[in-house]
Amino acid sequence: MSSDSQSHAYWRATLGLLAQVLVIWFLVSFGAGIMFAGPLDSIKLGGYPLGFWFAHQGSIYVFIALIFYYAYKMGQIDRRFDVHEE
């Protein structure tokens, strides 16, 4: 594999991961917290409506999980393309 095609594959993998994370982020923050809050409010979590919970606390937990997921997957991508740091 040439260096140019390897760098394109690396960036394609990196941007694919970034797109996945941003879609999840959008669905949780805007989708669950705003757009679908009405239907989600019929479900209670800890005594609070689920839409309210996602808008205020759930999205924060998901964002923190996304940070760890991104770091883990990015490490795998870096090792696969041999651009990782020791």
Q: In this structure, are residues 29 and 35 in contact, taking their beta carbons and an 8 Å threshold?
A: no
**Digit-coded pLDDT (tens) for 3-31:** 889 999 999 999 999 999 999 999 988 88
Provide the 3-class DSSP secondary structure of residue 81.
Answer: coil
Domain spans, the chain = 29-86
Does residue 44 come out as left (phi exceeding 0), alpha (psi in the -120 to 50 range) or beta?
beta
The pTM for the full model equals 0.81
**Digit-coded pLDDT (tens) for 32-74:** 888 888 898 899 988 889 888 888 888 899 999 999 999 999 9
Check residues 3 and 78 and name the one with the higher pLDDT.
78
| Residues whose CB is less than 8 angstroms from the CB of residue 52 and which lie 6 or more positions away in sequence, other chains included | 37, 41
